[in-house]
A and B are shown apart, each in its own frame.
Chain A
Amino acid sequence: MTALVQSAAKSSVLPFVAAMVLGLGIITIAGHVQASTLHDAAHDVRHATGFPCH
């Protein structure tokens, strides 16, 4: 029973956690990864958004 309740609680939180991980991934790739192509393409936005850029 306890295991059942726990797994129900887990499954209800999972989609929220998945969305947060996806969101953090997007912000990291668009705003922080220093690969030069990405950096050049996102350069102006990184400055304008206040991310550490160079």
Chain B
Amino acid sequence: MFQKILTSALLAGFCAGLSAAALQLFFVQPVLLHAELYEGGDLIHFGADAVSAHPELPGFDPVRDGLSILFTTLIYVGYALLLVAAMGLAEARGVAITARTGILWGIAGFVAFHFAPAISLPPEVPGVAAADVAIRQIWWWGTVAATACALALIAFGKGWLMWSVAAILLLAPHVIGAPHPDEFSGPVPPEIAALFAARALGIGFFAWALLGLFAGYFWQREEQASA
């Protein structure tokens, strides 16, 4: 069984991870590089001179971007292991898993891992002011766990009690509040920060939907092969 989970997750994670890496390099990386010009002081927002919104950006860097491709793929393999394991557990309890229903699972994964944390802790462009990283990570993991439990209760729970618990779990991390900095000191224009957050979330959505599709497909294929 473990081998079946591992095979499906590796295949799904690699396919979705490579897609995510390509999309990130094309849509997110230029925004990040643009922000780094402000972070490093090459460009100054509200300085003496007006600054062009379209500076020349560094091109493809084989080492830096190669590492990004590697790590994106790794992270999506990690997501895939969680997703396929959850799918397998659900299937053992009579839930049908296919590539088509997998898309829904993927979107749920996106909500738990990207969207819910981003509601109170938006994807950060380099150079923004932020609270202590360890505290933000604790809040991030807590939010992911609470949201994942809530989505499972909404999808598979029955009755108002379970749905009420789900609503509390969804809202609690944001009512408690994410750790934010005491002062703002970010040198990056808000236009760039907003575009970065929107792009990071948009690409995350597509990549997770693909991950769900691939996970459902490969899981079902493994199932048929072992039947």
A residues touching B (Cβ–Cβ < 8 Å)?
Answer: 12-13, 15-20, 22-27, 30-32, 34, 41-42, 44-45, 47-54
B97 at the interface (CB under 8 A from A): no
Complex alpha-carbon distance, A34 and B123, angstroms: 17
Please, which residues of chain B bring their CB within 8 A of the CB of A45?
24, 68, 71-72, 75
Q: Count of chain B residues with Cβ under 8 Å from any Cβ of A?
A: 49
Taking the closest CB of chain B, its distance from the CB of A26, in whole angstroms, is 3
B201 at the interface (CB under 8 A from A): yes
Pairwise interchain contact A52-B130, C-beta atoms closer than 8 A:
yes
Pairwise interchain contact A49-B84, C-beta atoms closer than 8 A:
no
Please, which residues of chain A bring their CB within 8 A of the CB of B71?
30, 41-42, 45
Q: Which of B47-55, B85-93, B156-164 contacts A (4 or more CB under 8 A)?
A: B85-93
B residues touching A (Cβ–Cβ < 8 Å)?
Answer: 1-2, 5-6, 9, 24, 28-29, 32, 64-65, 67-68, 71-72, 74-75, 77-82, 84-86, 88-89, 92, 114, 117-118, 121-126, 130, 133-134, 136-137, 140, 196, 200-201, 203-204
Taking the closest CB of chain A, its distance from the CB of B226, in whole angstroms, is 13
List 13 interface pairs A-B (beta carbons < 8 Å), by A numbering: A15-B1, A16-B85, A24-B82, A26-B78, A31-B75, A34-B133, A42-B71, A45-B24, A47-B126, A48-B68, A53-B124, A54-B130, A54-B133
Complex alpha-carbon distance, A4 and B87, angstroms: 26
Pairwise interchain contact B64-A23, C-beta atoms closer than 8 A:
no
Please, which residues of chain B bring their CB within 8 A of the CB of A26?
74-75, 77-78, 81
Complex alpha-carbon distance, A47 and B192, angstroms: 14
Please, which residues of chain B bring their CB within 8 A of the CB of A19?
2, 5-6, 9, 81-82, 84-85
> Residue of A at shortest CB range from B144?
A27
Complex alpha-carbon distance, A53 and B132, angstroms: 10
Complex alpha-carbon distance, A34 and B6, angstroms: 27
Contacts A32-B137, A45-B72 given; indicate if A50 touches B78 (C-beta within 8 A).
no
Tell which of B2, B89, B92, B203 touches A48, judged by Cβ atoms closer than 8 Å. Answer: B203
> Residue of B at shortest CB range from A45?
B71
Please, which residues of chain A bring their CB within 8 A of the CB of B28?
48
> Residue of B at shortest CB range from A44?
B68
Please, which residues of chain B bring their CB within 8 A of the CB of A42?
67-68, 71
Pairwise interchain contact A16-B67, C-beta atoms closer than 8 A:
no
Contacts A16-B88, A32-B137 given; indicate if A50 touches B6 (C-beta within 8 A).
no
